[in-house]
Amino acid sequence: MPTTELEVTIASLGHLGDGVAETPTGEVFVPFVLPGERVRIQPTGEGRAELLGIVTPSASRVAAPCRHFRQCGGCALQHVEAKAYAEWKREQVVAALKPRGIEVEVDSIVPAAPRSRRRATFSATRTKKGVTLGYYSRSSHTIIQLTECPLVVPEIEAALQSLAHLVEPGLSRKGHASVAVTATETGLDVAVTGGKDVDGPLRAELAKRTSAHDLARLVWNGEMISERRAPVVTLSGLKVAPPPGSFLQATADGEAALVRLVVEAVGDARRVADLFAGCGTFTAGLAKRSSVFAVESEKPQTAALDRAIREQGPGLGLKPVEILMRDLFRRPILPSELLKTDAVVFDPPRAGAAAQAEQLAKSAVPLVIGVSCNPATFARDARTLIDGGYRLTRVTPVDQFLWSPHIELVGIFRRE
């Protein structure tokens, strides 16, 4: 393994937020640096290097707001001033579109605020001294014990010790458990995987601790341990009780921005297809002015949305909503099913919507709106739509993943 200390200048930031520098043996990636900085590094092999010190700092460098930064692997960019950070994120969208030959003006980023993440996944393990709960350190399986986290909403940050106590009886010293936490309007919704198998005594103890910490729900290895209150979130005025493991946008402000962009683009369209609808992130917002055909592959999510629409839709004055459970990866909606549709909204997982984009490209729908948390797969699907006769008229990045390289976006396509 190389051992020579080097002094280098950082040329740029890569797509994961690490700095890129040239060395006598080739290009290396260096964490926690900024373009133009002169730094001391220790090459570690495989094109990576450890940062030893800053010789000449960038004017865009700021003090990190979290004491765990650089040890914890949860954030990569806390050292970047807000304006430079926002422009770098915007450029990641531009860079993803360019290889596909897509040229479009990309809007300024809609920013994310600290302490706004309403869902987070921690790792936990049992030790001789108790429980270690936190995020993995960079490029390792060592868990960094968290005492604070400026990413998450105060309800989650305040519960870190309670979460460690909650999971303690179900952990072993031989493995790590995953602790997914969502802050809802009725309390924290916790789902643990990778813990001990549940038997009678463990189930009773976990239920007791769920009550002691006033959690809304605890699911352990897929088994419901306790639901003291149904977790509830409000989606454009519609109160929905998401089932365990269902998708929810990372921040409430980010969700509101996405919904605003989508609803404004749809305008007065009479009928809208909401594909990959989940529990209804966009459904209720769209249904305030349009009839909606909502399609989702997960039955528990369609059931939760259907129940909320039936119970609250009339009181909210929503237009008719038709809900269909269907796997859009295997059975995408066909052009013949969209003949009376004025607009389509699709919000797929990170893998994108290759099969559905192919069918949309063959359709006559005048307006298609793509929402994505992965600019690379969005660019692939956008190329398919453009080749099918659509024009990408606008792209707006929305930051929900503060201090990370991840970015959400909304793209608007109009048929030529």
Which candidate in 66, 72, 279, 373 is catalytic? Answer: 373
DSSP letter, residue 80 = B
Side-chain-facing half-sphere of 305: CA atoms under 13 Å: 32
Backbone angles phi, psi at 43, to 5 degrees: -60, 140
Kindly write down the DSSP assignment for every residue of 89-140, as one continuous string.
Answer: HHHHHHHHHGGGT---PBPPPB---TT-B-EEEEEEEEETTEEEEEEEBTTS
* Cα dihedral sign, 391-397-400-405: positive
* Cα 135 from Cα 277, distance rounded (Å): 30
3-state secondary structure of 198: coil
Which residue's entry shows tokens 């014990």?
145
DSSP letter, residue 405 = S
Sorted by sequence, the CB contacts under 8 Å of residue 277 that are 6+ apart come out as 283, 294, 295, 296, 301, 302, 305, 323, 347
| E strand map for 300-399 | 321-325, 343-346, 367-372, 390-398
Q: For residue 353, give the nearest of 322, 332, 326 by alpha carbon.
A: 332
In the annotation, is 373 catalytic?
yes
Straight-line distance from the first to the last Cα atom of the chain, in angstroms, rounded to the nearest whole number: 56
* Cα 25 from Cα 19, distance rounded (Å): 16
| Catalytic positions, written as ranges | 373
